[in-house]
Every structure is written in C-alpha cells, then in structure tokens.
Amino acid sequence: MKRISKLLILCLVLAVAGCDKGMLDNPMRKAVREKLKDPDSAKWGEVYVYKNRACLEVNSKNSYGGYTGKQAAWLHSFGGDSWYLDKINEDVCYESPLKELVAIDEAEEAAEKEVIALLAKIGRTVTPHELTMVNKDDPASDKCVVQASKAMTAKRIALGTKPDSRAMWEKDYAEQIAPVISGACKG
C-alpha cells in the first residue's frame, strides 16, 4: 500500500512539473505573457479589474536577462473572456485610472452612437466598425461618412486628452460634425 501511495505521489509530482506555465494562467496573464521578452520569468503582483479594464503588476526579465522592476500592464476586454494588452509602462496599478478609462470608453461609445444617429437622419446607415474603418482617402467613400469619421476621431482625442487641451479638440469636433448635422456633406 505504501508503494502505491508513493507511486501516486510521484506521478502527481511529475504531472504537475510537466505542466506549461501558460496553461495555469488566466486570460489576462496570457495576454501580458504574449508581449514579454521572457514570459516564463514573469512574477505577478496586484491585479485590479473594473468593468472591462484591468491592470496587472508584472516583473519580468528584459533582453539583457535582468528584471525590469515592477511595471503596470493595462488591459482591455471587448466582452467574453478575451483580454487585450493596451500597454506596459512604469505606472502603478490602482483602481482610479481604470475607472477613468472606463468612463472614456463609455463616453466614446455614447458619442459614436450619437454620430451614427446623425448619419441616419441624413439617410446614411453605418455600423460602428464602418464609421471607424472608412477609407478617408478614397474618393469613392461617402463624403458624409468620411466627415463623421473625422469628427469621431476629434471626439476620441478630446475624451482621452487632458482638460487643458480638451476644449480645442471639442471645437474641432463641432466644426467637423457641423456639415453632417446640416447635411452639407452630401454634395
């Protein structure tokens, strides 16, 4: 009986030792590990999650084999269990910046819906993807959709910038969206 229990313990130890570290990671860690120079060296710290945003503290080896020091990995989820790495930087992870990012995301989504509704009023039906991906340099592209896309770019910049330069971008948005509101972009 002792031999069987020792054999089972040995099998369990070997099975766990053979596991890939990546298999034990959650989706957020996997997204970060994909971008690290030495993903197996990753040492994880605090994790903060707020709605569809997350911040993980990570310390991993750089190209020279030395540890980088604690860094913040900022992630974004577009639904489900998929997470995408926005950036890794020297910031400190905590909840307040995540709340700000979520507020910006929500404001962008509301602005996008507003712009799509304005386009619908002048007979243009577009999806958020079409609004974002319209080819602004193609003469065959709908002028109103191109104009709305330019306005949306200004709005995104306004929402993501510091308050001291936000007014300039809001003014640019107002100027860009005016032809869409009036229908002057039609021809």
Is 3.10.450 the CATH classification of the domain at 21-93?
yes
| Calculated CA dihedral for residues 157, 163, 165, 170, nearest 10 degrees | 60
For the chain, the average pLDDT equals 88
SS3 readout for the chain: CHHHHHHHHHHHHHHHHCCCHHHHCCHHHHHHHCCCCEEEEEEEEEEEEECCEEEEEEEEECCCCCECCCEEEEEECCCCCCCEEEEEECCCCCHHHHHHHHHHHHHHHHHHHHHHHHHHHCCCCCCHHHHHHCCCCCCCCCHHHHHHHHHHHHHHHHHHCCHHHHHHHHHHHHHHHHHHHHCHHHC
- Angstrom CA distances, 38 to 32, 42, 61, 114, 182, stand at 11, 7, 6, 44, 55
**The predicted structure's pLDDT at residue 102:** 95
Q: What are phi and psi of 52, to 5 degrees?
A: -105, 20
- CB under 8 Å to 174, separation ≥6 — which residues? none
**The predicted structure's pLDDT at residue 162:** 87
Residue with tokens 């690290």: 36
- Amino acid symbol at 151: A
**Which parts of the chain have pLDDT scores under 70?**
1-24, 187
**The predicted structure's pLDDT at residue 5:** 54
The domain locations on the chain are 21-93, 97-186
**The predicted structure's pLDDT at residue 13:** 46
What pLDDT, in 10s, does the model give residues 11-26?
444 454 444 444 457 9
**The predicted structure's pLDDT at residue 16:** 45
Residue with tokens 């991993």: 60
**The predicted structure's pLDDT at residue 176:** 95
CB 46 within 8 A of CB 24: no
